[in-house]
Amino acid sequence: MKQATKALHAGYTKDAQKTMSVPIYMSTAFDFGSADFAASSFNLEQGTDNVYTRVGNPTNAILERRFAEVEGGSAGLAVASGMGAIFYSILNVVEAGDNIVVSNQLYGGTVTLFSQTLKKLGIESRFFDVHSPDESEALIDDKTRCIFFESISNPSIDVPNFEKLIEIADKHQILTIVDNTVATPILCQPLLFGADVVVHSASKYTTGQGTAIGGLIVERKNLSQKIKDNPRYPYFNEPEVSYHGLVFADSVVSPVLFTFRARMILLRDTGAVLSPFNAWLFIQGLETLSLRMKQHSTNALEVAQWLETQELVKKVNYPLLESDKSYLNAQKYLSKGASGLLSFEVENFDIAKKILDRVELFSIVANIGDSKSIINHSASTTHQQLSGEELKKAGVSEGLIRLSIGLEDSEDLIADLEKALG
Ligand SMILES: *Cc1c(COP(=O)(O)O)cnc(C)c1O
């Protein structure tokens, strides 16, 4: 089946009521039926469905299976937010004393997680230049547990050379974890290029309507083979004290080691579970994701091309513009479109602020991926606390304006910008 079909049907078999809309199972817990079944469930002797919603819920399970199918992966795990998904994907493979090798162009929350919060837990983040993948190899040692990057970075809109990074990781038998939030599986499937794990903020394009916070982790097919007997990943290969010495790699219950362990250890013990109601909202959103991503991409390219013709605009960043630093990578990895995120530079802070105050269709919001278009001036908002030097390092000039192009008619968006620039 093709992606658009999977996004509508995968993972759901109609129940006795034959509901067309996936049911929302708002239930904290489930009846085991017998004492023996209850005991064996807690000892991981059988499936993890229908025990307690912190570690699994039937509505969440449909979202997990469907999202995994659309990504081309083998299994998924839904959690309470995109940051939760990123944190769990890392926590699943590290302990104090370990390090991770990460791109220098990442989402703001991810940067502070890696450089501050993980540091306090004794985990070191080593940054490489997103456009110099070879730098990552020099940072690897025997304590390195993953290479992490974004398929399209937010807010800097860079597209790295995935294959090079995956090749380096594979050579050292290290996992690659890719944040695929901005591209979504419709525009890019990193797992099919050989990435090991994909993480998502479902809060962005998945509903498309800015209604709910959520996150997903998806692992690729046959990832367990890379983890099994790999000395970098002892948690999967050594007896787990909290499950009576179970070795995850030998468990007969689940062959999908990465998501299984994240669920049974991390969700069990730290509990950032997704509400079944939010899972249902994401399922509704997935139904139209493929249509929407095509339109976001077409609209954004049209706006980017128009901005390039404007005298007041010094530079436009959009991966599918020939002038863009990511153009070659984008042609390869984003052949179906480059999503709705773009940015452009005007001369200075004052001109940028004036444009923000003059637009009418665009809302000034710290978010992306909504069906309604969004405008943002990084230097006065998300990056306000940074010094001039730090702004430069983050690739944020004083006149940088970021747009998340929505699903309005692109002629109306261009007319609105034309008025604001004029
Ligand atoms: C928004 C975002 C996140 C964080 O997701 P939340 O759902 O807000 O926690 C992570 N990565 C990227 C690329 C994002 O855009």
Residue-range definition of the domain harbouring residue 353: 290-421
Q: Give the phi and the psi of residue 317 in degrees, each rounded to 5.
A: -110, 110
Beta strand extents in 135-260 (DSSP E only):
144-150, 175-179, 197-201, 215-219
Contact 334, 183 (CB under 8 A): yes
Mutate which of 201, 205, 376, 378 for ligand 1 pocket (most atoms within 8 A of beta carbon): 201
Regarding whether 294 and 273 lie in a shared domain, the answer is no
CA angle, 35 then 79 then 198, to 5°:
120
Residue 392 lies in a domain: yes
Rounded to the nearest angstrom, the distance between the alpha carbon of 418 and the centre of ligand 1 is 30
Does ligand 1 come within 6 angstroms of the Cβ of 340?
A: no
Does ligand 1 come within 6 angstroms of the Cβ of 83?
A: yes
Alpha helices (H) in 33-161, listed in sequence order: 35-42, 58-71, 82-91, 108-112, 118-120, 134-138
Peptide bond into 276 cis (omega under 30): no
Which pLDDT value is given to residue 48?
67
DSSP 161: -
Contact 325, 131 (CB under 8 A): yes
Residue 319 lies in a domain: yes
Regarding whether 139 and 236 lie in a shared domain, the answer is yes
Residues in Cβ contact with 373 at an 8 Å cutoff, skipping those fewer than 6 apart? 361, 362, 363, 403, 404, 405, 406, 408, 413
Regarding whether 299 and 257 lie in a shared domain, the answer is no
Does ligand 1 come within 6 angstroms of the Cβ of 158?
A: no
Which residue's CA lies nearest to atom 1 of ligand 1? 201
Q: What is the CATH number of the domain that holds 140?
A: 3.40.640.10
Regarding whether 141 and 79 lie in a shared domain, the answer is yes
Residue 117 lies in a domain: yes
Q: Give the phi and the psi of residue 357 in degrees, each rounded to 5.
A: -75, -20
Which pLDDT value is given to residue 109?
92
Regarding whether 27 and 151 lie in a shared domain, the answer is yes
Regarding whether 159 and 113 lie in a shared domain, the answer is yes
Three-state DSSP class for residue 179: strand
The parts of the chain modelled with pLDDT lower than 70 are 46-48
Three-state DSSP class for residue 69: helix
Which residue's CA lies nearest to atom 4 of ligand 1? 82
Which pLDDT value is given to residue 47?
67
Does ligand 1 come within 6 angstroms of the Cβ of 386?
A: no
Mutate which of 79, 83, 188 for ligand 1 pocket (most atoms within 8 A of beta carbon): 83
Question: Which region, left, alpha or beta, applies to residue 392 given φ > 0 means left and ψ of -120 to 50 means alpha?
Answer: alpha
Does ligand 1 come within 6 angstroms of the Cβ of 87?
A: no
Regarding whether 263 and 303 lie in a shared domain, the answer is no
Choosing from 249, 277, 305, the residue where a domain stops is: 277
Q: What share of the chain is helix, strand, coil (3-state, %, to 5)?
A: 40, 15, 45
Regarding whether 198 and 111 lie in a shared domain, the answer is yes
Choosing from 244, 277, 310, the residue where a domain stops is: 277
Q: What is the CATH number of the domain that holds 390?
A: 3.90.1150.10
Can you read off the two tokens belonging to residue 216? 């997903």
Regarding whether 228 and 296 lie in a shared domain, the answer is no
Q: Which helix (H) or strand (E) covers residue 313, if one does? A: none
Does ligand 1 come within 6 angstroms of the Cβ of 402?
A: no
Nearest to 282 by CA among 60, 68, 88: 60
- Owner of token pair 């991503």: 293
Nearest to 121 by CA among 95, 149, 156: 95
Which pLDDT value is given to residue 45?
77
Alpha helices (H) in 239-275, listed in sequence order: 257-261, 268-270
Predicted TM-score (pTM) of this structure: 0.96
CA angle, 80 then 84 then 89, to 5°:
130
Residue 282 lies in a domain: no
Total domains, the chain: 2
Choosing from 277, 310, 335, the residue where a domain stops is: 277
Can you read off the two tokens belonging to residue 371? 């069906």
Which pLDDT value is given to residue 360?
97
Which pLDDT value is given to residue 70?
98
Q: How far apart are CA 52 and CA 325, in angstroms?
A: 48
Does ligand 1 come within 6 angstroms of the Cβ of 154?
A: yes
